[in-house]
Amino acid sequence: MALKETNDAAFADDVLMNDKPVLVDFWATWCGPCRKVAPILEEIAAQHGDKIDVIKLDTDANPATTAQYGVVSIPTMNVYVKGEVVKTIVGAHPKPKLLRELEDYIS
């Protein structure tokens, strides 16, 4: 399962109304650490897409959602369950650490 992208207009439908937990990657094209973590998130989406959706949101193109969730440094990854933020991970981390952070949602 590939990474999906969302935007301000579709965020509620893609994320908040989703039946599954959703990992939202707040990123930007100019962000080096964001580019570093992107392939790891693609692997997580491919391996665990049946349990969690992984969705990217470009912070430059979508300032309303970025501001609404108080994202000030990127990459920031929020986990949403039933429309609520249940976990926030800030910064690029290696895959084993991300999997540990997500184990409640992918096991």
34 is catalytic: yes
Q: What is the bridge-based pairing of β-strands 22-27 and 53-58?
A: parallel
Whether 71 is catalytic: no
- Looking up tokens 């990127």 gives 74
- Active-site residue (options: 22, 23, 31, 98): 31
**Distant-in-sequence contacts of 12-17, Cβ < 8 A, 24+ apart:** 14/53, 14/55, 15/55, 15/80, 15/83, 16/80, 16/83, 17/83
**List 34, 37, 44, 74, catalytic entry:** 34
The residues that are catalytic are 31, 34
